[in-house]
Chains A and B, each alone.
Chain A
Amino acid sequence: MAPRTVGVAAEKLVDPGTRQILDADRWDYAVALSRLLQELGHQVIWWQLGDGWRGEILPEVPLLGALPASCQFLTWPTACESFLERANGVDLAIYFDLALAYPQVHEVSVAVAHGVTWDGPLFASRLPTAEEREEWKRRLGIALRNPLKVVTADAGLIHWAQATWPGLQYAFEYIPGFSLPPPALAARSDGPVTVLFPGPFTPERGIGETIRAMEALMVRHGDLRFRLSGRGEPAVEEYLAEWVERHQGATLDRLPLTYDLLGEVDIALFPVKSGPGPILACLRAMAAGKAVIVGWAGGLSGLVLQEHTGKIVSPGAESLAEAIEELALHPAKRRLLADNAREAVAHAFSLERWRRRWTRLAEKLLD
């Protein structure tokens, strides 16, 4: 295929002020997609909200912080218009956030929907009246229908959209998340079972239920070890530092979820309650051969087959504690789920598979 130009618009890959990466999962996705498009011979230019600065995703893949940050009903019409006008020569436009695909998109375009952002109890406080929510929904419906395809790794989003607007059968392209093959990890010794909660420490990711579950389990099983790794709001980090001081057997650090970190734990917790979930992080834990416990939100229930490759729990400290306890006390079951998880990732969520699907879609659109 002849080299083409691909323009990608995102809301915020990095903080427009500090330029720090805001979400590791989204950044990893952006890097993998850029690398693939580059390898296919295309020129890739990213745009995001910002006041005119310039950064980069990869060498020769610029990130232009130049789209106006004016939000209305959780959509970005002026940023959308600006991207359409300024990136008018691209052969393919990718709207890396679905909300940017309103009100109008390039003729050859695809949107990426990272998950459901409207399933948390505070959603209504962002759009406090029924009229506002109706307007948001109308715009979301337009954004779903505008591009030639909407790519998502969250089957739950497809199910919701199709059940909300019947007739979207052909709108979606389901491209599940990916994980790189992990390095060889040393087998865990027979020491205490270690349970990891990787951040961010937010209510949406279930930090409240997690520490309540940990408190209950510490009373029942003094030999269990708990590790909180990641970042949160300063006040939350301060609270957790105090909490760790008061609870023997728990530790807190700011490490990101790497294979090194995963090599030190037995069970990884992703009890997501709402919002887009850490799909790539969860897949990394599964690829590393860890038993995972996930919430049903955030697309994670599409990664885990109940009691075969992990455990899916309903929201609440009690159900989370029960699940941790079962896996901690039954090493054979823990190993079985972990082995199945590793195999499932190798077959269903490999980077190679993800690249093949994206390549096929890009070729179809650019041809």
Chain B
Amino acid sequence: MAKGRVGVLTTYHVHEDGKRVIYGGAERYGIEFTRMLVEMEYDVTWWQIGSGWTQEVIPGVPLHSVPLREAAYQTCPSLNRAFFEQADRIDHAVYFSTLLAYPQAFERSIAISHGVYWDYPTWETIVPTERHRAEWRARWYAALNKPQKVVSCDTATIRFITATWPGLAEKLEYVPNFVNLEEFHPPDADAGRASVRVLLPRRLTAVRGINETLTAMERLLAAYPQLEFHLVGRGHSDHQERDMLRWAHEHPRAYYYWRPPHLMPHVYRNMDIVLIPSKAAEGTSLSCLEAMAVGRAVVAGCTGGLTDLILDGYNGLLLRPVTVRTLVEAIEALVTGPDLRRELGERAEATARAFGLDQWKERWRRVIERVFR
């Protein structure tokens, strides 16, 4: 017999049309989270935005969809209401994003924050006036207060919340993201290549530092004949991906391609340096943890949850700010310093062992057992 029924509300686990699967970090988080709840013997049901179709998150766990109708100030009151009404037979609720807990939340519920996403300059185009920003903050404050606990994947979000609304500290829990150590581990033996391979395993977006990276790599590829650059990530459009193919074609030893998540361990194992040069909107990045678990030297932006994973000079290099100059300097140090590369990679791998899937589940179990008891 199940311990209880858990309803999970998200915006999109699959595309709104119910046909296209999304391969992002949040979706992978959702799948592992569901597996954990099932292992803990809960009955789990998901809800998201859609036209009324039903699918499965994992076998046996339904994903229902409800129409969005209204969305304002990053909140979805109608979706929240529909979940509250349709899921009235559940015992516990999980709001997969904190703002989904607005305006009302189940008594025994948890909200999850995947990191600060409002720290990039164009954020204010979404909430363009102080009146808009005040309303967004008011709704978010209400959403943070409704659930019993708010689980944050990084301390940057916790620090933001406590410095914005002193007094909310007791509501917060820190559960950093995870890496599957069975899949992501160093190769048995590193290939004795003469080349040094640099990987950018991110989506092709400005906030992930794609533009600075391309300029930095143009300079470095010209200066270091042993260097290879691999860009592995999807763009937002076919047009953008075509542009990237063209760029790679024009630059010797630059490659652009995409691999599904299950092939990424192999990609990481064939690289030497991994770039996570995010400028904003970053939590405890799964890509960063995966690169670390494979024992690669990581160059990361000093933003969001990345500072919970990397100590500059110990297990990676942190860039503040992310610019062409800082990227070139960091990559250059690693290309010309095989010992530094090896040492950072070894310590990164040791660090990643503390962020394994099992530890993540154990941290979550403690929270769930306190809230859902």
Residues on A close to B: CB < 8 A? 116, 118-124, 155-160, 162-164, 166-167, 169-170, 172-174, 176, 273-274, 296-297, 301-303, 305-309, 312, 314-316, 340, 343-344, 347-349, 353
Contacts and interface: CB of A to CB of B under 8 A. Distances in A.
Contacts of A297: 159, 162, 169
Contact of A166 (B118, B164, B314): B118
B22 to A, nearest CB: 25
B279 A169 contact: yes
Given A119-B159, A169-B322, 16 more contacts: A119-B166, A121-B166, A155-B302, A156-B159, A162-B303, A174-B302, A296-B174, A297-B169, A305-B354, A307-B354, A307-B359, A308-B353, A314-B172, A314-B173, A340-B350, A347-B314
Nearest to A315: B169
A305 B351 contact: yes
25 contacts: A119-B162, A123-B166, A156-B159, A156-B163, A160-B160, A162-B119, A163-B118, A163-B160, A169-B322, A174-B312, A274-B169, A297-B169, A301-B155, A305-B315, A305-B351, A306-B354, A306-B355, A308-B353, A315-B170, A340-B350, A347-B314, A347-B347, A348-B312, A348-B313, A348-B314
B8 interface: no
Interface stretch (B33-41, B58-66, B120-128, B330-338): B120-128
Contacts of B355: 306
B369 to A, nearest CB: 13
B261 interface: no
B320 interface: yes
A169 B321 CA distance: 6
Nearest to A175: B320
Contacts of A301: 155, 159, 174, 308
Interface residues of B, number: 48
B156 interface: yes
B192 interface: no
A312 B174 contact: yes
A164 B156 contact: no
Contacts of A160: 159-160, 163-164
Nearest to B322: A169
A156 B302 CA distance: 10
Contact of B170 (A158, A167, A316, A344): A316
Given A297-B162, A315-B169, A316-B170, A163 B116 contact: yes
B254 to A, nearest CB: 26
A308 B174 CA distance: 15
A172 B166 contact: no
B118 A274 contact: no
Given A174-B320, A302-B307, A353-B313, A308 B351 contact: yes
Given A121-B167, A274-B166, A353-B313, A305 B303 contact: no
Interface string B145-179: 00000000001101110111011011011101000
B222 interface: no
Interface in B40-76: none
Given A163-B160, A166-B120, A344 B314 contact: yes
B14 interface: no
Interface in B314-362: 314-315, 318, 320-322, 347, 350-351, 353-355, 359
Interface in B173-223: 173-174, 176
A118 B160 CA distance: 11
B275 interface: no
Given A160-B163, A306-B354, A315-B170, A167 B312 contact: no
B159 A273 contact: no
A53 to B, nearest CB: 35
B166 A159 contact: no
A283 to B, nearest CB: 11
Contacts of A172: 320-321
